[in-house]
Amino acid sequence: MAKKKPPQEGGKKVNNPNVMGLRAEVLEQPITQTLELNYMPYAMSVIVSRAIPEIDGFKPSHRKLLYTMYQMKLLGGSRTKSANVVGQTMKLNPHGDTAIYDTMVRLSRGYGALLHPLVDSKGNFGKVYSRDMAWAASRYTEVRLDSICGELFRDIDQDAVDFVDNYDGSMKEPALLPTTFPNVLVSANQGIAVGMASNLCGFNLGEVCDATIAYLKKPETDLLSILKAPDFPTGGEILYDEAALRHIYATGRGSFQVRARWRYLKQEHLVEIYEIPYSTSVEAIMDKVADLIKTGKVKEIADMRDETDLNGLKLTIDLKRGADPDKLMARLFRSTPLQDAYSCNFNILIAGMPQVMGVGKILEEWTAWRTGCVKRRVYFDMKKKEEKLHLLQGLKKILLDIDRAIQIIRGTQEDAEVVPNLMIGFGIDQVQAEYVADIRLRNINQEYILKRVAETASLEEEIRDLRDLVDSPARIKKVIISELQAVKKKYALPRRTEIVYDYQTAAPDSQDSEIPRYPVHAFLSREGYFKKITPQSLRMSGEQKYKEGDGPAQQWEANNQDELLVFTDRQQCYKARLSDFADTKASVLGEYLPTRLGMDPGETLLWACVTGDYSGHVLFFFRNGKAARVELAAYKTQTRRRRLTGAYSDKSPLAAALLIQEELELALVSSEGRCVVFHTAALAPKSTRSTQGAAVMTLKPKYVLEQALPLAQTAIINAARYRAKALPAAGMLLKEADRGEEQLSLL
């Protein structure tokens, strides 16, 4: 029988019966120890072995795939089926064929996610700018390594990098690839680990090589003057912000704006969008534009369609008569992903530790690492030449008396004694003697030996030069610079993303200024029907019409630019502008909000509020007697999101909700008929929307909190009777005189 493992330090044994009546040993462990022993190794494994790229610009999955293809002779060779590569890669990467093929797709020329694709592909590999364009299965597509991969593997067989065991120890794989250029800045890379992430944008290869050369010559060089801005394979335009880019180059964090490129065809009166930001997709743009058209925000568009084909991306917008294309595109840039922010997070593994670094620091780390690679390569060559020189020096001694060497070999009776006898006869070591003994009979002539010996002088000169190179940092720098110049000359391409220096930034409230501003009255019924009525229309017909069995729930005096927030029983908040709803009359039923806002099937509207500046606090009262106070600003978003999840706590059903602008007294009533009066200042604001809040009312079993409303709106006469000295409070039973006839409900 196997011995039981002793409990880990800090734990305690507890015997608990399991479902079969047997007794099981359970180890109680402090949560801090659980995190340290169980969670931290997992987190570090994801960070180090999966999600964060290293100084060569690759994650482990990329490196394993490329090295497998290199071993399969796919650099410069003919293509093979992708399924074949995927199968071979599983010897190094045992995470399943789907993950390996997805990695291959992202590196492929067909997908177009990299400025310089590393996999030369044939077949359907989808497109980076489309989320719906699926790539073909691996059995249909073919791949080989692109020619630029020669710069990744040039020194791989010359001991330039360390090799480590694969997952089962059956073969070796490189720990890093000895890239001859800073691929970490050229190939865009994104990864999400545990507790951290990485987002590296790509830069133009020619600019990266120039910047690296300038850095090697003068480390304090202003990199922004050479490495002007990021470059993306999808093109587009970067709105040049020197301060933002300098911050990114210095810290490795920040963001900049990228927008689409378009042209106006006057004869057809249409707009063609042919390049979009790298961070978005065609479908996201189409959906947002369609949304703007449906809500009436954009009225100049007659039709929009995706005409992407083999020639490349193209979105076509048919304009209505009289529409101004420049004004339309300016509005679309403000309201759609046609202009998007790209966030940078240059998080890279250095010696197994994640570090967020600016461009200068990345070049410093890369040049130091590349210097080590070049030294190892030179040292490898030097050792090979020294070994050859050593053999030739032994052969030179044989030249003095070839006949004697032959006589020693012929006079030796046992084969095992040949090498020792040569060593004794000529004063050479075992390696040299083995070399001499293995020379073919036809080569034992003076001409052959003289040619071999003539190499000695040139080898000695080469070795002296290599030894000087290893010991000279200045010469190592020159080698790296010459390699960078060769890479630039052979592989550099013109920029794809244009840099726009002169542009106008739209005012933040420019969209709001286009929405008419006038007073309105908003009404919400118990069943969720909403209508917006102008004061003039309301004065003409003040009688509200509702469905049979329905009635008024909430109403507001507001402005057409204000926003409506609707909270549901599934802890979701739906947002809409009042301007999204047409002005109507009191005699109509209004719009059914669950349908208009796109609520989930079976989702029920509970409460709503209207706001213009998101000031004030929302008080949530739950049936378990708890209350949460959340700033209304917590529901404000930078983008026009229509739905927020986790709008409030899901630990107990919502009993009531109130929006307050100033402190006041509230009255809470339970299903038992007890009442508690307290001041809202006793509730501390919480920073998270889904907070459970604090207990305000102590409830007996089977009773719940039912009502909550301002004390001034109740029929309570003797408020002092119900005021709580401290929270939570059980409250007092309501007297008949304080009950009143009206009952509070959420709607």
Active site residues: 140
By CB atoms closer than 10 A (0-12, 13-18, 19+), residue 712 is: exposed
Fill in the DSSP letter of residue 506.
P
DSSP 202-222: ---HHHHHHHHHHHHH-TT--
Instruction: In whole angstroms, give the CA distance from residue 636 to residue 640.
Output: 9
Sign of CA dihedral 241, 247, 252, 254: negative
CB atoms within 10 A of CB 73: 12
Which of 177, 277, 182, 280 minimizes the C-alpha distance to 227?
182
| Alpha helices in 132-241, H assignment, sequence order | 150-153, 183-186, 205-217
Report the C-alpha gap between 157 and 151 in whole angstroms.
13
The helix (run of H) or strand (run of E) holding residue 512 is helix 510-513
Look up residue 729 and give its DSSP letter: B
Token pair listed for 576: 């809409």
Separation CA 153–CA 75 (nearest Å): 9
Short-list 341, 191, 151, 185, CA closest to 254 = 341
User: Cα(first)–Cα(last) distance of the chain, in Å?
Assistant: 67
Give residue for tokens 């390699």: 483
Question: 470 near 382, Cβ under 8 Å?
Answer: yes
Six token digits for residue 618: 């929302």
Rounded to whole angstroms, the maximal C-alpha distance in the chain is 133
Check residue 700 and report its DSSP letter: -
What is the DSSP code (8-state) at residue 618?
Answer: E
Token pair in block for residue 265: 């065809």
Instruction: For the chain, give percent helix, strand, coil, nearest 5.
Output: 35, 25, 40
Strands 23-28 and 12-17: antiparallel
Amino acid identity of 585? K
Neighbours of 600 (CB within 10 A): 10
The SS3 assignment for 363 reads helix
How far, in Å, CA of 98 to CA of 553, rounded? 53
CB neighbours of 119 closer than 8 A, spacing ≥ 6? 69, 104, 107, 108, 109, 143, 144, 145, 146
Give the integer Cα–Cα distance in Å for 274 and 182.
30
Strands 529-533, 605-611: pairing is: unpaired
Report residue 551: phi and psi, to 5°: -170, 180
